[in-house]
Amino acid sequence: MDLFGTAGIRGSAETRVTPELALAVGRAVAAEVRAAEEGTRPDEVVLARDGRVTGPAIAAAMESGLASGGVRVLRAGRLPTPALAHASQGRYGVMLTASHNPPTDNGIKLFRDGSEFDREAERAVEERVAGEEPPAAWDEWTETERVDTLDGYLDAVRAYAEGFGDDLDGLRIAVDCGNGMSAPATPTVLRELGAEVVTLNGNIDGHFPGRGSKPTPESLRDLRAFIADANEGVAAPGRPGAEIDAEGFAFGIGHDGDSDRIVIIDADGDVVHEDTVLALLAERYTRESDAADPVVVTTPNASGRIDERVREAGGRVERVRLGALHEGIAAVRAESAPGDDTRVVFAAEPWKHIHVGFGEWIDGVASAAVIARLVAESGLDALREPITERPYRKVSIDCPDEAKPGVMDRLGSTLPDAFPDATVDTDHGVRLEFPDASWTLVRPSGTEPYVRIYAESDEVDELIADVEAVVEDVVAAVADAE
């Protein structure tokens, strides 16, 4: 049974993430909690959901599964996913969300002590679901309790962000909440830090009427136009030496449905590349760390500009498969020798950031607060200036799911043969790095019948075309052989 993908369980609320599945997963989680803890922490599970229409029914089923499994259930209502993760510290958490997926979907994410379940823990839950975990004895069933955790989370984000940059002092920021769970979070924190915030799509609505839940350059077109129009003909706000106009915006923020993703819009209404945002945060965390060996954990599809800025700041980068930043953090710690001052200072993949000094969960609200303080200190342009932004492209090649293993196995040799000057890494797909700092990555999609090609280069179209030709030949050869 393969329930879990790269970000928990997701899918149609009618056919996959149904109340029936939620009941079964709830019982399985409860059994796993009781078996694992043996008194080392409370048998408590905080349960929250996003604003999707299907959330209440699935939450009711999940609550029934957990309670009949014999664990204490704390109902936290509607929360951003990072707020649920924060509330799971010292206990367990279940978040019902499909993040940026369409409104027809829902999902289940599991947390323990502020970190997502790793693969081993997810497999244990899968096995219990497949085995149809029975309820606990009748006298071990529990009565659920209502808890309010959002205010404590927002206070913690604000206090953490105050360790960076400057006071916001009226800095104008536009935030597109996308009718999602950032609505009660990001604008509140930014205002408490001193910003003047204007929101778009600032009401929670599980139909996502304002725009698609996934924040992309296309779905954020209203936010981009709003900022560009407001800033037209005025001094660009938030830039060093520029007077902040009363009607202009320093920058904009777009979130997904559950507030773990963040997109930054500059004063011209353009999307700041996700890897540039990642690089500027990674550099800042590395420079400010007092560790002898500061490490930034990222994913194979992340840009080489991150490596460049982290190296410049005195750190190094380690990569881990997509959706497993928490496993990468744990691996770096496990591999550190006793007494060795190796420390993960930041972990991120495009759009999603873990602020390790705050907590080991992906947190778009914390990113918004920290970035705002850095922009107030230096201006967005100055933060971006040291970062080399080479052209970047991603393409998808049709590939049946059953052919993916054979295709990736062959590409492990054919791609290095085709590009003999490249350094090769096959830990998470096939990644080639070239002497001029260009790179490409080929990896199978975990959710769709594609092989993905990522590339960054001054001649990115040429590089993509060369890699695409190799991949297409291999896909065709494997398909013919089958």
- With the C-alpha atoms ordered 428, 99, 91, 187, is the resulting torsion angle positive or negative? positive
Structure tokens at 61: 């089923």
Task: List active site positions.
Answer: 99
Rounded Cα distance, 296 and 254, in Å: 24
User: What's the burial of 340, exposed, middle or buried (CB within 10 Å: 0-12/13-18/19+)?
Assistant: exposed
Position 40, amino acid: T
Nearest to 281 by CA among 207, 211, 206, 380: 380
